[in-house]
Amino acid sequence: MKTLMIRNLIGLVAVGAMAINVSLCRADLPVTDGLMLWLDAADGSTLFQNDSMSEPAEIGGQVVAWADKSGNDFHATALFDGPTFEPDAINGQNGLLFNGGEFGAGLAVDPALEVLRPYSIFVAQQNVTHGRTLQSATANWLHGSWGTSFTNFANGFVGSVPAELGLPIVMDTTGTIEGNSTLFLNNLDITNDPAPTGSPGQLGLGSAGMFANEAANALVSEVVVYDRVLSGEELGSVREYLYGKYSISDFTVDLGAEKNTVLVGEAGGFTGGDEGDGLDLLGDFVYGVNVGGIDAVVGDVEFLEASLESGDPAGVVITNAVNELPAWFPSNFGESADDIEIGNVAQSIRYGGDLMVDLDVVPGESYKLQLLFSEDCCDRGFDITVEDELVVDNLHLPDLQGSISNGGVMAGFYAGTFTASDDQLNIHLGGKNPRAADSLPTLSGVTLERISIAIPGDFNGDGLLDAADIDALSAVVRAGTNDLPYDVNNDQVVDQADRAVWVADLSKTYVGDANLDGSFDSTDFVSVFVAGLYETGQAAGWGAGDWDGDGLFDSSDFVAAFVDGGYEAGPRQVLAVPEPSSVVLLLLGLVAFASHRRR
């Protein structure tokens, strides 16, 4: 055993006969069999301002070394900056304040200590900000806090609950070689999954861990590590000792709804792109979006790239998805062409807090929405809201696809049917899932299928085909935005051809039928000239003479009407065509009349 000269808060204790062997403090712990590491900041004599541990730390000063009280000399020392010695940190006990961040304070436990399963690990801490506290220096393992949760990750999340900043906690975890992991927080069993089998190896606190940039701003008072799984009685006695020491109150948490509580639609897993694999990929699709990936075609869906580099497709706006991974999920659905292509969609993600997707739609039309998710990292969950209505509470991706990492054989989806109340379908992924360790939303793909149209071409959903609809279509054509809900001929382009289809096929009338009564005759000319916009340069709609869709009423509109040949032809299905000379004479007379009126 190593003998240390220690200064308490009153004065220096002499070397030699007066030297204190720190291992004698082991008697404070109710269980010492198998004790590998004991860092106890409540015992201020274990804190030093130099790595040789010859100069005791001062209150408010930097701690460069934290002596191990287990007797094994696995002391923790600062690689760069050390934490601050804070008295009365956690309910009257000393603690070390780690200031968080990649270049913040950190203490590395002697690398000679290699913590492998089986183990039992206890930490007493209090978070100021969210992030990692005790973590591995050599693997992705953490215990205490991560993201916005109190959790333990051991190559899989053992459990998690929402983290409450400023709350003193004592959290312990155990694990055997086979798994059998447990996680307790302030007398509450928060174990979600006992299967993870990861080990920390070398330990670090704060920025001394592998993921320094995720370090929390937190107070840490005690770390206790055993090389075995303690019995239930032993675990209870160590908990009782630490709970009493730090005046810990029992933890309660409202976990809300069960995982994957679907309120509208359905959620599940899909195993490929073939029929029967779980997705609906056959039908009349308005949108297919590969979020974070390249173009792909599966069934009737043309998935268009929506990456940070390329931007979003026409009619689609994705916000708050500021990060992207093009090869996130190792898809392994099958060998068919559709399996491979849907795998290309599933393998990519974009992610970010409160992820939003807005899709241009036609009011009054009904659509089937599918959202595609894939997970290969984390115990992830969040909520889904469509048109401000919660449709899935506590969505949990690992449950949808069978596990967190499944070799790419299954991914998850949500599907629901909605009727558009306005010209945009709003989708929100976010919120906090208290049953998941990670609530950061991700998204791999989106499909939107048109399943019913009350009246084709009725863009405002008022049940009529009227001037407002043809004017809306003309505005989209002029803008050149290719808003696909206005693509009435389904050629993926919104142009004059769509206007022609709307007039002839949907409204069954002719260019020039200003009042849209099904016939083009003298009453239409009277109505447009009464409106008084001919050759004024003022904006005009269909009912005021803009028949060619340029937003004005001028001679080009007469040309468009003359070319269409519907004057006094009766309803569209009647093919009688008037003599051209009579049309010309009428147009000349009307133009002269309009000119006279303007004078």
CA distances for 69 relative to 73, 87, 475, 562, angstroms: 8, 19, 77, 98
Give the pLDDT score at 574. 44
User: H/E element holding 232?
Assistant: helix 232-245
Dihedral sign, CA of 115, 116, 122, 127? positive
Is the pLDDT at 274 greater than 60? The verdict is yes
Distance, CA of 245 to CA of 252 (rounded, Å): 20
Give the pLDDT score at 15. 27
Q: DSSP of 339-408, one letter per residue?
A: HHHHHHHHT-EEE-TTEEEEEE--TT-EEEEEEEE--SSS-BEEEEEETTEEEEEEEEHHHHTSSS--TT
538: confidence class by pLDDT, cuts 50, 70, 90: very high
Give the pLDDT score at 2. 32
Average pLDDT over residues 130-148: 91
Give the pLDDT score at 7. 26
Name which residue leads in pLDDT, 420 or 119: 119
CA distances for 525 relative to 110, 261, 508, angstroms: 93, 60, 19
Least confident of 35-49, 263-277, 292-306, 561-575: 561-575
List beta partners, residue 331. Answer: none
Name which residue leads in pLDDT, 465 or 148: 465
Give the pLDDT score at 161. 86
Ordered domains of the chain (ranges, CATH): 22-245 (2.60.120.200), 261-452 (2.60.120.430), 508-598 (no CATH)
Average pLDDT over residues 27-43: 94
119: confidence class by pLDDT, cuts 50, 70, 90: very high
Peptide bond into 111 cis (omega under 30): no
Average pLDDT over residues 222-228: 98
Is the pLDDT at 451 greater than 90? The verdict is no
Backbone angles phi, psi at 579, to 5 degrees: -65, 130
**pLDDT per residue as tens digits for the range 331-386:** 999 999 999 999 999 999 999 888 999 999 988 888 999 999 999 888 899 999 99
16: confidence class by pLDDT, cuts 50, 70, 90: very low
453: confidence class by pLDDT, cuts 50, 70, 90: low
Rounded to a whole number of angstroms, the distance between the first and last alpha carbons of the chain is 112
Is the pLDDT at 209 greater than 50? The verdict is yes
State how beta strands 301-306 and 285-291 pair.
parallel
Give the pLDDT score at 353. 82
Is the pLDDT at 527 greater than 80? The verdict is yes
Is the pLDDT at 588 greater than 70? The verdict is no
575: confidence class by pLDDT, cuts 50, 70, 90: very low
Give the pLDDT score at 557. 95
595: confidence class by pLDDT, cuts 50, 70, 90: low
CB 95 within 8 A of CB 86: yes
163: confidence class by pLDDT, cuts 50, 70, 90: confident
Give the pLDDT score at 463. 78
For the chain, give the mean pLDDT. Answer: 89
CB 412 within 8 A of CB 425: no
What are the CB-based long-range contacts (under 8 Å, 24+) for 109-112? 109/37, 109/39, 109/74, 109/75, 109/76, 109/137, 109/202, 109/203, 109/204, 109/205, 110/68, 110/73, 110/74, 110/75, 110/76, 110/77, 111/137, 111/202, 112/74
The gap from C-alpha 524 to its chain's centroid, in whole angstroms, comes to 54
User: H/E element holding 204?
Assistant: strand 203-206
Is the pLDDT at 594 greater than 60? The verdict is no
Give the pLDDT score at 589. 54
State how beta strands 424-430 and 442-443 pair.
unpaired
Half-sphere exposure (CA, 13 Å, Cβ side) for 436? 30
**pLDDT per residue as tens digits for the range 242-257:** 999 999 999 987 878 9
For residue 500, count CB atoms less than 10 angstroms from its CB and return exposed for 0-12, middle for 13-18, buried for 19 or more.
middle
Is the pLDDT at 289 greater than 60? The verdict is yes
Per-range mean pLDDT, top range of 7-16, 20-29, 56-65: 56-65
Distance, CA of 149 to CA of 436 (rounded, Å): 9
Give the pLDDT score at 586. 53
